Amino acid sequence: MEPITTGFSMDMIRISRPLFLLSLTLPLSSGLAQAERPSVDFDFGSTAECRELLSAEPSGVYPDGKIVELKLRISVHLTAGDLDKVDELRIEVVDCDRKIRVHSFEPNTRLESRMSEDIQWSRTIETGASLRAALGGEVPVFLGTGVANVTPTINGGKTNREIVTEVQKRIAPKHVVVTSGTIDSEHGVFFKLHRSPQSSLEGVHELTVRFAVPKNWRGDSIQVCCQATGQEKFLWLKQQAIWTHACSRVAVYLAGDARARRAAVNYIKQRSVGS
């Protein structure tokens, strides 16, 4: 009678144990990584007023139109994790209906240096020549009665020195703090706020967007999207990670127009009920 085989050997059992342990270790490490991920909340108003700029020249898109200015306040709050892991905040303001165009915006792209002033570097070069002299005379020899004569030399000295100092002034290196520009064929604008030793990503950030609108414009709706990103370590590699992403509609209206303001409030209420 032939022996019954089980289909695996002891070598296969010894190999399978490390694989089983690895399968238990990975979920635990990924759970710890999840716990360390920063959590960021973005807060901004659901309605906002736009002030007409009477001194601004009309845009070429709407020659008979006007320029309105929106000041949008974005509040950033770290609710969990480490803020140092948040490298960048990206904020987008877009007109989804593509009826208005971006005229200008603030803040613009800005660089900052981590040093208080430019770097000054100096080098000093010193060159010189000297001439020394010794006195002449007679030196007695103690071992005997003789006298040793010393030939006299020049009695004097001369020294020439030349000092040259080179001074160079170098511009201190700068790092990007804010990056901004238009998107969606100038129907929107983006802002990238980068981490810096001189500023904090957490807190309130005021963004200014100026739109070119038709002459009879009284209100509209825009979409605001906020995103926090950073570097996440997975095993021995680092990869780009999105910590938080949120989008919401904001109803904008012309300042001083009470009817347009009520329409903006009703628009937000209807969207809240519908959602």
3-state secondary structure of 184: coil
Query: Rounded CA gap, 252 and 263, in Å?
Result: 10
Same domain, 127 and 203: no
| Segments in the chain below pLDDT 50 | 1-33, 135, 142-143, 155-157
**Strand 237-254, strand 47-52: pairing:** parallel
Maximum pairwise Cα distance, the chain: 129
Query: Rounded CA gap, 102 and 75, in Å?
Result: 23
CA angle 30, 36, 37 (to 5 degrees): 90
Instruction: State residue 243's pLDDT score.
Output: 93
Q: What is the pLDDT of residues 124-181, one digit of tens each?
A: 776 665 555 554 555 555 445 555 555 555 544 455 667 767 677 767 677 788 999 9
Instruction: State residue 152's pLDDT score.
Output: 56
* 11 in a structural domain: no
- The contacts of residue 46 (CB under 8 Å, 6+ apart) are 248, 249, 250, 251, 268
Torsion sign across C-alpha atoms 95, 99, 105, 111:
positive
* 221 in a structural domain: yes
Instruction: Tell if the pTM clears 0.85, that is, is over it.
Output: no
149 with 135: CB under 8 angstroms?
no
Same domain, 221 and 255: yes
Distance of CA 31 to the CA centre of its chain: 29
Instruction: State residue 262's pLDDT score.
Output: 96
Q: What domain range includes position 157?
A: 119-170
Same domain, 109 and 48: yes
Same domain, 83 and 128: no
Query: Rounded CA gap, 71 and 210, in Å?
Result: 9
Half-sphere exposure of 172 (CA within 13 A, CB side): 12
Structural domain count, the chain:
2
Same domain, 179 and 68: yes
Same domain, 158 and 228: no
Burial 5-40 (b: 16+ CB within 10 A, else e): eeeeeeeeeeeeeeeeeeeeeeeeeeeeeeeeebeb
* 23 in a structural domain: no
* 16 in a structural domain: no
